[in-house]
Chain A
Amino acid sequence: MTASPTPAAGRPLLDVADLHVEFDTHGGVVKAVRGVSFSVQAGRTLAIVGESGCGKSVSVLSVMGLVPTPPGRITRGAARLGDVDILRRKIVDGHDVRGSRIAMIFQDPMSALNPTMRVGDQIAETLQVHRGLSRADAFRRAVEVLAQTHIPDAEARAKQYPFTFSGGMLQRAMIAMAIACEPEVLIADEPTTALDVTIQAQILDLLQELQRRTGMAIVLITHDLGVVARMADDVSVMYAGEIVESGSADDVFYRSAHPYTLGLRAAMPSQATTKAAGLQPIEGTPPDLFDPPPGCAYVARCPHAMHLCRPHRPEPFQVDPAHHARCWLHHPGAPAGRDGVYRGARA
């Protein structure tokens, strides 16, 4: 497998800007994604973290063109892959960018594969469609790709049906399917959530190994901070349809600049066994996205909320050069407190 041509360093491969997605439901319009921006460079891994329903999956599904319309609707924003806005145009040079330049793996490998089609054929299919290979050539190549995901006896396995595979093997097959056309960007939507812990580690190792070999960018959607720590170069923390903090993994973990990120860290299990080291849940629930609050979305649960947080929506403040947080505490006029929120190297 040859590495994809790497663009000039520093220039993002996938650049999503100001994405807004809404859904029509019986209860009204849900504003699921409200101005999300993120970007990822070749060979790097961006993790998008957040609790269930915060819009992280919808964001990447929009990029893939997989949000069902209706009821979904992308009302604003752009997603550039190289020079092409793939929100508007999925077909570039006669080929669908999905599956060839940008690929995706899903949470539940048990249901993500076609039960009545041989695994090898499902991998070969993308090669036939995007690379124009013949059936036989595509199948041969599919066996090679399957072997790259460390499935033993790939030749025989490729001729079998998904129901004979275990969950971990299916996720490997799913990854093989995604990387068959050597995509520049791989989106992994909770790739290990449905698997047990030992298999999780193997799958993450596999993703890293493939990334090192091909130089692809990975966008990893997860709610598991352990997975983030293991995999991510950069992290974006999502809350209620917006990104509240973004920066390098070290920035976000060790220099958390948003109260929500601090809350997430406190809610993480640690290895300490004392009662005091127990989990600290974030009190309350996320806001109703039928009618999102005008100001900061986290205000109702934030221990550091101020008067202006409720009516005024904070813009992302720059904490350090590549570290942003959507929180009024970073306004020059905010009081400096002992709240544990990192205020930047200058502070």
Chain B
Amino acid sequence: MLAYTVKRLLQGAATVWFIATATFVAMHSVPGDPLANQRATSEEIRRNLEERYGLDRPVIEQYGIFLGSMLRGDFGISFTQENRRVNDIIRENFPVSATLGILAVTFAALGGILWGALTALYRNRLPDLVITFLVILGISVPSFVVAALGQLALVNLNAAVGEPLLPVAGWGTLRHMIVPSLVLGLGTMAYLTRLMRSSMLEIADADFIRTARAKGLPPTRIFLKHQLRNAILPVVTVLGPAIAAITTGGFVVELVFAIPGLGRYFVTAVQQLDYTVIMGTTVFYGAFLVVMVIAVDLLYGWIDPRVRLE
């Protein structure tokens, strides 16, 4: 198990290196000047700035410097925000995005498992049909539409109650977090619901469920200990990619709900060609996703003993 974990971590490190290199190459191939928005008014100022950010050196040398400082965990200083270190930007804003993402993933996973199990239990009856319809809606409607609708619903709700029940935007308390994480997790939850439903139905016909019934076990025990645990396996498998989908999808939701997350920097940095912020946020997100996927794989091994030995 330890050897497996170490092996996966090494593979993950290689992946992060690849992400960093690919981003670096792509970033430097994009036409445009990172200093164009700056006060590079005269040739002298431009030279000073280029020297400060190391842009006067050959690209390959810049790459070496970048890799070196990345290994030390230093992503440098932002091009566009005076004297602001990329590490500080990540440190200040990532916890907000992470909280939102974790809440959304939790909501998506629990909701997906619950609704999926429920639809399987009520197969082809009214609850199944209603939930399946909503699921298709949840998969097809993009998150920015859901976010706007969610906000509208909140405004109407607060107006109806007469006092601000849940804040429409902003960040800070748990009450701020509820609606954005629901909106962010909705699409994934819908997808997981479908997956869970088909998985539950497949397991319901399995021989070992018949064995459990032949043993005279109570239906709740069969459901929880035999059916659910085996049906969850495919859901856990896609949790890794689901986390990726949710964290990248988070930018839009952060924007709509005015949440001070990292996603904003991620997007504006690309627009402004803020080299250090692009590299910092991309590598950081890449590393985060790699760690999440590894964590999910380890979790999978914990749920399914057959995977453990590999």
B111-119, B140-148, B191-199, B221-229 - interface stretch: B221-229
CB neighbours of A111 from chain B (8 A)? 206-208
Residue B73 is within 8 A (CB to CB) of chain A in the complex: no
B226 & A99 in contact (Cβ 8 Å cutoff) = no
B208 & A115 in contact (Cβ 8 Å cutoff) = yes
Interface bin, chain A: 20 to 34
B230 & A129 in contact (Cβ 8 Å cutoff) = no
Residue B84 is within 8 A (CB to CB) of chain A in the complex: no
Residue B212 is within 8 A (CB to CB) of chain A in the complex: yes
Contacting residues of chain A (104-147) with chain B, CB-CB under 8 angstroms:
104, 106, 108, 111-117, 125-126, 129-130
Given the known inter-chain contacts A106-B210, A111-B206, A111-B207, please indicate yes or no for A116 contacting B217, CB distance below 8 A: no
Within the complex, what minimum Cβ distance (angstroms) separates B256 from chain A? 41
B214 & A117 in contact (Cβ 8 Å cutoff) = no
Interface bin, chain B: 20 to 34
CB neighbours of A103 from chain B (8 A)? 214-215
CB neighbours of B216 from chain A (8 A)? 90, 95-100, 126, 129-130
Convert A62-97 into 0s and 1s, putting 1 for each residue whose CB lies closer than 8 angstroms to a CB of B. 001110000000000000000000000010000111
Given the known inter-chain contacts A108-B207, A111-B206, please indicate yes or no for A116 contacting B213, CB distance below 8 A: no
Contacting residues of chain B (290-305) with chain A, CB-CB under 8 angstroms:
303-305
CB neighbours of B306 from chain A (8 A)? 115-116, 161, 163
Distance in angstroms between the alpha carbons of A113 and B225 in the assembled complex: 12
Residue B64 is within 8 A (CB to CB) of chain A in the complex: no
A125 & B215 in contact (Cβ 8 Å cutoff) = yes
CB neighbours of B268 from chain A (8 A)? none
CB neighbours of A163 from chain B (8 A)? 305-306
Residue B218 is within 8 A (CB to CB) of chain A in the complex: yes
CB neighbours of B217 from chain A (8 A)? 96, 99, 125-126, 129
Q: List 29 A-B contacts (CB under 8 A).
A: A66-B210, A66-B213, A90-B216, A95-B216, A96-B216, A98-B215, A99-B215, A99-B216, A99-B217, A103-B214, A106-B210, A106-B211, A108-B207, A111-B207, A112-B208, A112-B210, A114-B225, A115-B208, A116-B229, A116-B303, A125-B215, A125-B217, A125-B225, A126-B216, A129-B217, A130-B216, A161-B305, A161-B306, A163-B306
- Residues of B that sit less than 8 Å from A by CB: 206-208, 210-218, 221, 225-226, 229-230, 233, 303-306
- Residues of A that sit less than 8 Å from B by CB: 64-66, 90, 95-100, 103-104, 106, 108, 111-117, 125-126, 129-130, 161, 163, 174, 177
